[in-house]
Structure 1
Amino acid sequence: MSHTNVTEATDADLDGFRDLQQLAYRAAGDVAATLEPGVTEREAARRVRAHLEGHGVQDWFHTPFAWFGDRTAFRGFRTPLQFFPSGRRLEEGMPFILDCAPVRDGYVADIGYSGYLGENALHDRLMDDLRAHRRLIVERVRAGDTLQDIYRAVDGLIRDQGYDNRHRVYPGRVIAHQVGRVRSRLPRAVVAGFGVRSLQTLIGDLLVERVHHRSPLWADGDISAHPATPGLWAVEPHIGFRDIGVKFEEILVVTGDDAHWLDDDLPHVRRWDAQAPTSPENR
Structure 2
Amino acid sequence: MSNKVDLDRFRELQRLAYRGAEHVASRLEPGVTERMAAAALRRWLERHGVDDWFHVPFAWFGNRTAFRRFRFPTQFLPTNTRLADGMPYVLDAAPVMDGYVADIGYAGRLGPNPTWDRLDRDLSVHRATILDLVRQRRTFSDIYREVDDLIRRQGHTNRHQVYPGRVIGHQVARIRLGGPRFVVFDSFGVRTLRTVGRELIKERLEGRSPLWAGGAASAHPPTPGLWAVEPHLGTDGDRVGAKFEEILVVTENDAFWLDDDLPHVHRWRSA
> By how many angstroms is 1:179 displaced?
0.5
Work out which of the residue numbers 225, 233, 239 in structure 2 matches 1:239.
233
Is this contact kept in 2: 1:93–1:119, CA < 8 A? yes
Matched, 1:222 2:216: yes
Aligned to 1:64: 57
Is this contact kept in 1: 2:106–2:243, CA < 8 A? yes
Computed over aligned residues only, the root mean square deviation of the Cα atoms, in angstroms, reads 0.6
- Structure 2: segments with no counterpart, 5+ residues: none
> By how many angstroms is 1:184 displaced?
3.9
> Where does structure 1 differ by over 3 angstroms across 4 or more consecutive aligned residues?
none
Q: Summarize the alignment of residues 100-249 of structure 1 with structure 2, pairs less than 5 Å apart.
A: 100-192=93-185, 193-241=187-235, 242=237, 243-249=239-245
What secondary structure, in the 3-state scheme, does the structure 1 residue paired with 2:94 have? strand
Query: Within 1, Cα distance between the matches of 2:218 and 2:3?
Result: 27
> By how many angstroms is 1:194 displaced?
0.2
Code of the residue aligned with 1:221 in structure 2: it is G
- Structure 1: segments with no counterpart, 5+ residues: 1-5, 276-283
Task: Please give the per-residue CA displacement for 1:119-169, whole angstroms capped at 9, x wherever unaligned.
Answer: 111111111111111111110101000000000000000000000000000
Code of the residue aligned with 2:191 in structure 1: it is R
What secondary structure, in the 3-state scheme, does the structure 1 residue paired with 2:38 have? helix
Query: Within 1, Cα distance between the matches of 2:213 and 2:3?
Result: 28
What secondary structure, in the 3-state scheme, does the structure 1 residue paired with 2:78 have? coil
Is this contact kept in 2: 1:149–1:225, CA < 8 A? yes
Code of the residue aligned with 1:201 in structure 2: it is T
Code of the residue aligned with 1:61 in structure 2: it is F
Is this contact kept in 1: 2:66–2:234, CA < 8 A? yes
Aligned to 2:10: 17
For this pair of structures, how many residues does the alignment match?
A: 268
Code of the residue aligned with 1:246 in structure 2: it is A
Is this contact kept in 1: 2:99–2:177, CA < 8 A? no
Q: Percent identity?
A: 63
> By how many angstroms is 1:212 displaced?
1.1
Q: Normalised by the size of structure 1, how large is the TM-score? A: 0.94
Is this contact kept in 2: 1:237–1:247, CA < 8 A? yes
Is this contact kept in 2: 1:73–1:245, CA < 8 A? yes
Code of the residue aligned with 2:141 in structure 1: it is Q
> By how many angstroms is 1:274 displaced?
1.0
Query: Within 2, Cα distance between the matches of 1:42 and 1:274?
Result: 32
What secondary structure, in the 3-state scheme, does the structure 2 residue paired with 1:63 have? strand
